[in-house]
Amino acid sequence: DNGAGKSTLIKTLSGVHPPDEGEIRVGGRPVHFATPVDARRAGVETVYQDLAVADDLSVAANLYLGREILRSGPLGRLGLLDKRAMRQGAAAALAELGVRIPRVTTPIAMLSGGQRQCVAVARAIIWATNVVILDEPTAALGVVQTGRVLDVVRRARDAGMSVVLVSHNMPQVLEIADRVEVLRLGRRAARLRADEVTTDDLVAAMTGSTGAERDER
């Protein structure tokens, strides 16, 4: 629920805020993230609610933002980009994830809300090697657009990628999640298996109703 601490947790896991106590482990090994760049180097990618896409740039340019491919030889040393390679790489990656975009040369500003969200999610999945963190990826989308974004998330999950999905939508959580962590007032209120609980169980854990803690394990 609002005020549960999920935004602070996300920013801690992605290197924006240092943790006050405890530790973060990636692949079972303790890690320390001083900046978001450290988290990315550890294979952790995050998609925030504001998406952080550049509207004036193309889909391909957004996918390679900060990771641009330089041309080989002297031209690359001068900083010239290999735009063809990035277009081809973007098209192949989006096709593999099932993301339908008119053209990878289309500016982000020309896409629908669902398509923008899919591009942001795809960018994280393409570059992540360990974990993808998604903060309310479908909060402002319609039914059809939500379905497309969740399809991309499922493909990443089925390919073996660990996905942390933050959501208020309880039916959606039960539809896509394997395990549910419920936060309340900055602490874990419950840890549940999605195939063993109902929406009412999740709401009870979120609100602190009597008996909600019985499922924590």
Which whole number is the average pLDDT over 150-168? Answer: 87
Q: Which two tokens stand for residue 166?
A: 């933050």
Neighbours of 213 (CB within 10 A): 13
Which positions ≥6 away from 112 have C-beta within 8 Å? 145
> CA 109 to CA 123: how far, in whole Å?
16
6-55+112-168 folds as: Rossmann fold (3.40.50)
**Cβ(128)–Cβ(157) below 8 Å:** no
- Residue-wise pLDDT for 106-123, tens only, equals 999 999 888 888 898 889
Which whole number is the average pLDDT over 38-60? Answer: 89
Considering the entire predicted model, what is its pTM?
0.82
Q: Give the DSSP H or E segment for 44.
A: strand 44-47
pLDDT band at 158 (very low <50, low <70, confident <90, very high): confident
Classify 47 as helix, strand or coil.
Answer: strand
> CA 107 to CA 129: how far, in whole Å?
27
**Nearest in space to 122 (alpha carbons), one of 70, 45, 42, 44:** 45
Which residue would you say has higher pLDDT here, 158 or 104?
104
Which whole number is the average pLDDT over 193-203? Answer: 92
**Cβ(148)–Cβ(173) below 8 Å:** no
Instruction: Write down the mean pLDDT value for the chain.
Output: 87
**Cβ(173)–Cβ(202) below 8 Å:** yes
pLDDT cut 90: percent of the chain above it: 43
> CA 194 to CA 209: how far, in whole Å?
19
Classify 203 as helix, strand or coil.
Answer: helix
**Cβ(184)–Cβ(209) below 8 Å:** no
> CA 48 to CA 58: how far, in whole Å?
20
Q: Is the pLDDT of residue 191 over 90?
A: yes
Q: Is the pLDDT of residue 217 over 50?
A: no
> CA 174 to CA 83: how far, in whole Å?
41
Looking at residue 181, what is its pLDDT?
A: 93
3-state per-residue secondary structure call for 138-166: CCCCCHHHHHHHHHHHHHHHHCCCEEEEE
- Residue-wise pLDDT for 64-112, tens only, equals 988 899 999 888 888 889 999 999 999 998 988 888 888 999 999 999 8
